[in-house]
Structure 1
């Protein structure tokens, strides 16, 4: 007990966390380390230090006290923790919690290189409940900036009048959310984006509220929150909800994150401690605070500065993998491209073809290039490989040479193979543009893909009118909406891979789809 008393004394006024651990142990139930960390929102190292000083009975990975510890009553328990503003509402939504639990279990496994850790089903439902309790949601729009947690599905299920858009870099998550939303009849749109390269056009100035659970580096939090702000259409009343957690042992890291938020000139209206709970992230107690942030008039000028810091090789935002902050300085240098490119896209060394025009990766994806180059060279840094299909579709060049950080494991398939013949040579991918196809279906698909910066529905409509010849613009648009309702207000470059894969079949159906009377 002396060692425990010393640990508690060392904790000082923050001693409720270790006392909550001891109180939980005193309940006599069996625990796993992960469950005890999550239940008490206490860093794993703190929990382990306490466990080393207690007499435990073990069964596999579970444990409990052999005998009660004296003095673990009253104020030593967890009843003194800050109140959860919506905990009292959760019991009335048990069916939604059960549904979300099933959806989370079936969802694609998290990727450590993207700092994925799943929130619990109770957490995502409580997020939705807080939105409802704090804001007026009738006719409102919610932008989920990254959504491995599936908050989009919980929010849309709880609030029938809420429109939701999900922006994410993980194709698997986007495909899963789109599939589940379609099956459940939920108004959830999905958009592909690597936030280091910008927010999708259809998500900019779109939302009234935004929510994000970003990588917990200062760079990651700053970037994701900045993109969330770019997504707000209501610059006066819009809000951003941020999930961010740090161990009680690392206050300096939390300070750096708050400094990143301060650089965006955001007002912290509220911070709910330990609101979010996770199936993992034990280093931070499997918990994160929930911030409610409000932009100010000084926020908007700060966004462009944040975007400039995120572009290109400086876009290290994760804690693990090739785009971890610690890995940014070890990138292999880019060598001169072959051929005679008319444009260099990406972060090429200054000494490489110094007189050749250059474009940022983000600019390349955001808008068509001013001229119509026949040959292009693109440099893609480690961690941005998922952007390869979009970078190729963003140009109509006859030849494109892409230099990657490492040899590709595979080359992109449909629908990119409808546009380019692709070959790989070491770290370099060569793309040679194919001639126009001959069938009506293939020509419409190719026209859509060739106009990758334009809205899919608009290009499709005009191409369909040219082929069928019996449709007005209104009728053609109705046909497109009927066969592909997800094609409205989106560009090819924003469509997730799953939707891109459905384009060919949807185009085929549009050629014979009936026209509504009137």
Structure 2
């Protein structure tokens, strides 16, 4: 190691939790001219608290929210560590510009889902790394699984590698609708699936992908859950890889250790870790940056993922009603369902509520049709799982259903109208099943656990008198997105289109 800069290093101020290279980089920026605190955080990848401590330690001028070193003095240049694909980025300036526009027009992030947008350069770097590391020239088309994609990595991959087929799994229906619309405009092979990962990975996304990528909530359970579902999505875990974006502040190494322990519990090998690979607009507490982990499954990984995924805590986020600090659950009592006299209790009910009534986990209820006949069902949706309301009702074949949820039916009534009459009581929703109508929408929504393409085909045969071959071709033409997907996996914009489809003319949606 060259010691020629020993005197310079000795002169650097000492800031708790901030390594000398980041201190030097911040000083160099301040010596060049005015910088905001956010710019210093983003360009050095140092946490906000560390930058604030540095600004209190060194002599600086301040003008509003901008700072510069005083007295002005040159700071010797220090080359930053090279990233794995940074040298490729200049050749994709047009793609970076297009991603900047896509990110700017995308739905705003939701704090309750820990959304922080990655920079366009970041998502393009991800796409470049995926191609350079996992897709040699002339190899068969790869299948990528994005476990959550608020960052629009799927669109970046499609623009740079149009032969790659990408499946996006996300809980945010707004993001899925946006990705569908933009992918269609760009002619990209991107398929969207709705899922709350706490309730399972969609069937059509399981065991299909060559590589999975995820930028999960930065809690130990959040990282563990998203990575476990990513492993379940790999076609061949022995050859597949999971790319994980994860960052922690320099002052919280214990939290990073908990996350790494969660990965260790899944028997994953950290094949590579690229520091500060991911950069963000925001997330200043962790330096607006996160590392990129390349995780390699071992023979024990898939069994561990299957065993552990359903046991991760429901509170996986850092904000909102489903955060680790939020109060757990609702007050559910027997008198809340006494008039209903349910045949089954779905979800997490207290043990003293109707102890003789059968109980079913939410994940099981969504995963397959309930074997026994049910006339009345009571369902408990804990805080944070409100987006599952439409799906749990579609998964239910009972005459009367009572769902305890704080979200009400806003945004759900339009989808459920062909199947249920709904009454919102504030603390819960009562749903009464309508008489069968024979309409196309009712036929599809009644078969929520089945393949949507098959239900649509059968409806066309019955309604329009088509042959099976003609009906199959018609579905492929007007609704190619139904291929290999169940109704319960469809994003809300697809479900709304089904609900609005006329019986006599089941045309494009």
TM range (shorter): over 0.9
Instruction: Tell me the SS of whatever aligns to 1:127.
Output: helix
Are residue 65 (structure 1) and residue 69 (structure 2) matched? yes
Q: Which runs of 4+ in 1 moved over 6 A?
A: 4-7
Alpha-carbon separation, structure 2, partners of 1:418 and 1:505:
9
Match of 2:6 in 1: none
Stretches of structure 2 that go unaligned for 5 or more consecutive residues are 1-8
**DSSP 3-state at the match of 1:418:** coil
| Aligned position for 1:15 | 20
Quote the residue 1:296 is aligned against. 298
CA contact (8 A) 1:483 1:510 kept: no
Alignment partner of 2:225: what SS? Answer: helix
Distance 1:142 1:96 in 2: 19
- The counterpart of 1:36, out of the listed 35, 40, 52, is 40
Q: After alignment, is 411-420 or 347-356 more displaced?
A: 411-420
Q: Is 1:369 the counterpart of 2:367 in the alignment? A: no
**Secondary structure in 1 matching 2:270:** strand
Deviations 1:151-207 (A, max 9, x none): 000001110110001000011111111110111111100110000010011101111
* C-alpha separation in 2, matches of 1:507 and 1:241: 43
Q: What's the counterpart of residue 489 of structure 1?
A: 484
Q: Which residue is equivalent to 1:110?
A: 109
Q: How does 1:21-170 map to 2 (within 5 A)?
A: 21-28=26-33, 30-69=34-73, 72-74=75-77, 77=78, 79=79, 81-136=80-135, 138-170=140-172
- 1:234 is displaced (CA, Å) by 1.6
1:8–1:19 CA contact under 8 A, matched in 2: no
CA distance in 2, matches of 1:512, 1:173: 25
Moved more, 407-416 or 345-354: 407-416
* In 1: Cα distance, 2:158 partner to 2:262 partner: 30
Q: Residue 6 and residue 386 in structure 1: after superposition, are their counterparts in 2 closer, same or farther (change >3 A)?
A: farther
Partner of 1:516: none
Residue pairs, 1:171-190, within 5 angstroms: 171-190=173-192
CA deviations over 1:61-92 (Å, ceiling 9, x no partner) = 3332343246x214xx3x1x332011111111
1:411·1:422 contact (CA, 8 Å) conserved in 2?
Answer: no
Normalising by structure 2, what TM-score? 0.93
Q: Following the alignment from structure 1 to structure 2, what is the Cα–Cα distance between the partners of residues 127 and 162?
A: 14
SS for the counterpart of 2:413 is coil
Preserved contact between residue 480 and residue 510 of structure 1 (Cα < 8 Å): no
* Deviation for aligned residue 1:127: 0.2
Partners of 1:199 and 1:227 within 8 A in 2? yes
The change in CA–CA distance for 1:424 and 1:47 in structure 2 (over 3 A counts) is same
Q: Deviations over 1:430-460 (max 9, x none)?
A: 000011226xxxx121011000000100011
SS in 1 for 2:121: helix
Distance 1:507 1:91, change over 3 A: farther
- Looking at structure 1, the residues matched to 292 and 245 of structure 2 have their Cα atoms a distance apart, in angstroms, of 5
Q: 1:412 to 1:506 in 2, by over 3 A?
A: closer
What is the distance in 1 between the residues matched to 2:507 and 2:250? 62
Pairing of 1:104-503 with structure 2 (within 5 A): 104-136=103-135, 138-310=140-312, 314-328=313-327, 330-336=328-334, 337-338=337-338, 339-404=340-405, 406=406, 408=408, 410=410, 412-437=412-437, 443-469=439-465, 471-503=466-498
TM-score (norm 1): 0.92
Alpha-carbon RMSD? 1.9
Distance 1:497 1:411 in 2: 9
User: How far did 1:301 drift?
Assistant: 1.4
Alignment length (residue pairs):
494
Distance 2:505 2:30 in 1: 63
The 1:118–1:407 alpha-carbon spacing in structure 2 relative to 1, beyond 3 Å, is closer
CA 1:134/1:193 → structure 2, altered by over 3 Å: closer, same or farther? same
SS in 2 for 1:294: strand
Q: SS of 2:325's equivalent?
A: helix
Maintained 8 Å contact 1:343/1:376 = yes
Instruction: Pick closer, same or farther for the CA change 1:506–1:209 going to 2, 3 Å.
Output: farther
> How much has 1:340 moved relative to structure 2?
1.1
Instruction: Give the distance between the partners of 1:17 and 1:511, measured in 2 at CA.
Output: 60
2: distance between equivalents of 1:504 and 1:378? 23
1:51 CA displacement: 1.1
Gaps of 5+ in 1: 514-518
CA distance in 2, matches of 1:124, 1:237: 24
**How many angstroms does 1:487 deviate by?**
1.2
Secondary structure of the structure 1 residue equivalent to 2:236: coil
Alpha-carbon distance in structure 1 between the residues aligned to 2:325 and 2:361: 23
